[in-house]
Copies of this chain bind each other. A is one copy, B any other.
Amino acid sequence: MSPMPDPAPGSRPTLEAVAARAGVSRATVSRVVNGGAGVRQPLVDKVRRAVEELGYIPNHAARTLVTRRNGAVAVIIAEPEFRVFSDPFFEQQVRGISRELTAHDSQLVLLWVEGPGDYDRISRYLGGGHVDGALAFSVHNDDELPSVIRRVQVPAVFGGRPGWPGAAAEPAFPYVDCDNRGGAREAVRHLLSLGRERIAHIAGPRDQTSAIDRIDGYRDVLLDADAGLIAQGDFTVESGARAMAELLERRPDLDAVFAANDLMASGALRVLRERGLRVPEDVALVGFDDMASVVAATEPALTTVRQDIEGMGRLMVRLLMRVLNQAEPGAGAPGSVITPTELVRRASA
């Protein structure tokens, strides 16, 4: 565009250079670059022009050194937790995080934890002031991450209610989660309202709080639910199919199934149809998540509990920003956020 006087290769123009060019002090340039409040218009213009002409870009390190602000947030991904990239849930959440971070002029730094040995590196990174805060996801019970984060004292927000031992007791990390329990209740009540009387549940892994909350919601409504109506899955399609087969074995008379996620629901659906059972006539089926890729493929279309995954990602960032903007990091932990769920009625129930 503008003729950029190519300076000594590798050397970028500094504040100093801009100041010289504009004939003002470094302080003035700094003010203009940071919004220009309290500087007279003509000077602002002069400085802006100099910035433009020189192609000046503020040096991040120098700025961070004095402001102690980085404009970067770490997203910590623990490999064993996630099939990471291939998990659409995760993709959506990261997309939300990315978008909201951009809105806050912050950068996303991906910290990929491949094994326990990586925690050293992670904690050095987090402690080294590379980032203003961290976003992590609800972790396994024996995960070191929470203690690492606590040790380096970096502000953090979790995605999903933490479930490690004592999580409830300790000064908790703020987290964002959807109303798993309430959503589950709504699903079961819906099945009830359809006149179903023997409603089974395909549960998710016992060590994930989302799965625990969903089974709790199921039990909230069906206080006296027969244990035979509950089968264990692990959130995968295959486990849903297995669980469905098991349930059919135990209770051939069941007339409805609430699966703890859509993936398992789709596995269950497959088995149901293989056995010649009609959905929803013989067995009504409700999932959880409203995961587009799954829902689009089911036939009949899956009734499910929607959670706003991208929105949760955005909320994680907002929560973190609120923590960061607090005067005293220690004072008054900002509460966690529980987002509402919504039953999406389609054909399967």
* Chain A contact residues, CB within 8 Å of chain B: 9-10, 12, 55, 57-62, 64-65, 70, 72, 75, 84-88, 90-91, 94-95, 98-99, 102, 107-112, 114, 118, 121, 124-125, 127-130, 152-153, 328-330
Q: How far is the CA of A12 from the CA of B124 in the complex (A)?
A: 13
Shortest CB distance A121–B (Å) = 7
Work out how many copies of this chain go into the complex.
2
Smallest CB-CB separation from A84: which chain B residue? Answer: B91
Bound CA–CA A81/B64 (angstroms): 33
- Contact: A329 with B9, CB < 8 Å? yes
Of the A-B pairs whose beta carbons lie under 8 Å apart in the complex, a sample of 30, sorted by A's number, is A9-B328, A9-B329, A10-B153, A12-B129, A57-B124, A57-B127, A57-B128, A57-B129, A58-B128, A59-B65, A61-B62, A62-B65, A65-B65, A72-B130, A75-B110, A85-B88, A85-B90, A86-B86, A86-B91, A98-B110, A98-B112, A99-B114, A102-B112, A107-B109, A107-B125, A107-B130, A108-B109, A108-B112, A109-B110, A110-B110
Q: Are B98 and A91 in contact (CB under 8 A)?
A: no
Complex: how many Å from CA A87 to CA B9? Answer: 38
Bound-complex Cα distance A112 to B107 (A): 9
* Minimum Cβ distance to chain B for residue A16 (Å): 14
Q: How far is the CA of A282 from the CA of B112 in the complex (A)?
A: 47
Q: What is the bound-complex CA distance between A193 and B57, given in angstroms?
A: 59
CB of B91 within 8 A of CB of A60, answer: no
Q: Roughly how many angstroms separate A121 CA and B90 CA in the complex, as a whole number?
A: 24
CB distance from A124 to the nearest CB of B (A): 6
Residues of B within 8 A of A114 (CB): 98-99, 102
In angstroms, how far is the closest chain B Cβ from the Cβ of A26?
A: 16
Residues of B within 8 A of A128 (CB): 57-60
Chain B residues positioned under 8 Å from A110 (CB to CB): 75, 98, 108-110
Nearest Cβ on chain B to A12's Cβ, whole angstroms: 7
Select from chain B the residue with minimum beta-carbon distance to A123: B57
From B55, B58, B75, B121, A102 is in contact (CB under 8 Å) with B121
A330 CA to B6 CA, complexed, in Å: 13
If A9-B329, A94-B85, A121-B102 touch, whether A61 touches B129 (CB-CB below 8 Å) is yes
Q: Which residues of B contact A75 (CB under 8 A)?
A: 110
Q: Is the CB of A60 within 8 A of B108?
A: no
For residue A99, which residues in chain B have a CB less than 8 angstroms away from its CB? 114
What residues of B have a CB within 8 angstroms of the CB of A102 in the complex? 112, 114, 118, 121
Instruction: List, in ascending order, chain B residues with CB within 8 A of A98's CB.
Output: 110, 112, 114
Q: How far is the CB of A327 from chain B (nearest CB, A)?
A: 10
